[in-house]
Amino acid sequence: MQRIGFVLVPGFQLMYLAAISVFEFANVSAGENVYQIDVLSEEGGAVRSSHGLTADTKAFEDPNFDTVIFGGGMQITESSSRMIDFARRASLASRRTASICTGAFVLAQAGLLDGKRATTHWLSARELQERYPKVKMEEDRIFIIDGDIWTSAGMSAGIDLALGMVEKDYGSELARSVAQKLVLYHRRAGGQSQHSELLKMDAKSDRIQSALDYARKNLKSALSVEELADAAHLSPRQFSRAFRSETGQSPAKAVEHLRLETARLMMEQSRHPIEYIAAETGFADRERMRRAFLRAFGQPPQAIRRSARAVDEGE
């Protein structure tokens, strides 16, 4: 049985605790206790979250865990010498050391991210890079594995990090079973972007949102303005005007962004041939998709796939 030490700090965000559920349900899916979870803090006892709820914790003692995960606080502050000492001792005694969201600041302050590829919540990535220039910050990743150091973005990305650990420890079948029990659509790959085009296109009306949903489900179609307008139950002229007003871009540009996002996810998370992905996402052929990738990401599809695999494999 593997011991997981989960470190909380005062003012932690409740969403961080969702990662614990991954290990809990790994035990359920495995039919035995493959993980033991200890919630830790510097002083032990009740630790107050940013919302005001508290979690009961054990004080730092023996750092001999299989995995130690540090969750940060809503406010970024300098960690105490005791916290930093525990992080350093845990990194030496444990098989892997990890952080969720701003927990990366603890690892960085302890020097554990020096020369390492790492990520954190995109809102805090620039600050971490400025404070700790030796860190090889990749601010747009869901999670990153560099040797025995794992770092993740904020909030729900901690779930992806924990699922990645379960997959590394016990295989993809158990990780999929846990994801199903948590009612997750799939485990996001570490190389996946923290940003979503659907989130950026914040449609205010149901009609424009319906058109976006239709586009996402029918990327193989031509998705002309007339087709999208029909999905929104508007005339093409009314639709174009409303779409630009609500999303800040034209329907054609929005469709290209959706095609790119979906194609990038397929490149990162599947082994489908490029020709297949191009056809499924409406690019028609691999050359047209390659040009679109170069415009949007500055890299061809093959480079995106190699980068995602390197992140997930900790290369």
Residue 195 has pLDDT above 50, yes or no: no
Residue 196 has pLDDT above 80, yes or no: no
Percentage of the chain modeled with pLDDT above 70: 91
Q: Could you give the 3-state DSSP secondary structure of residue 111?
A: coil
The pLDDT tens digits of the residues spanning 223-262 come to 999 999 999 999 999 999 999 998 888 999 999 989 998 8
Residue 100 has pLDDT above 60, yes or no: yes
Residue 313 pLDDT grade (very low, low, confident, very high; cuts 50, 70, 90):
low
- Amino acid in the structure at residue 76: I
pLDDT, average across residues 150-158: 89
- CATH of the domain spanning 197-313, picked from 1.10.10.60, 3.40.190.10, 3.50.50.60, 3.40.50.720: 1.10.10.60
Residue 61 has what pLDDT?
85
Between residues 3 and 312, the one the model is more confident about? 3
The pLDDT tens digits of the residues spanning 251-308 come to 999 999 899 988 988 887 778 899 999 999 999 889 999 999 998 878 899 988 887 7
The residue whose two tokens read 């540009």 is: 253
List CB contacts of 284: < 8 A, sequence separation 6 or more.
278
Average pLDDT of the residues of the chain: 88
| Cβ burial, residue 101 (10 Å; 0-12/13-18/19+) | buried
Q: What is the CATH number of domain 2-181?
A: 3.40.50.880
* Cα 218 from Cα 259, distance rounded (Å): 10
Residue 203 pLDDT grade (very low, low, confident, very high; cuts 50, 70, 90):
low
Numbered ranges of CATH 1.10.10.60 in the chain? 197-313
Between residues 187 and 28, the one the model is more confident about? 28
pLDDT, average across residues 81-108: 96
E strand or H helix that includes residue 54 = strand 54-59
SS3 content of the chain, % helix, strand, coil (to 5): 50, 15, 35
- Return the minimum-mean-pLDDT range out of 160-164, 183-187, 244-248, 280-284: 183-187
| Cα distances (angstroms) measured from residue 44 to each of 48, 61, 134, 186, 204 | 11, 10, 32, 35, 46
Residue 315 pLDDT grade (very low, low, confident, very high; cuts 50, 70, 90):
very low
End-to-end CA distance of the chain: 26
- Token digits of residue 184: 């997750």
Percentage of the chain modeled with pLDDT above 90: 63
Numbered ranges of CATH 3.40.50.880 in the chain? 2-181
- Return the minimum-mean-pLDDT range out of 181-190, 207-216, 241-250, 281-290: 181-190
Give the global pTM: 0.66
Residue 73 has pLDDT above 50, yes or no: yes
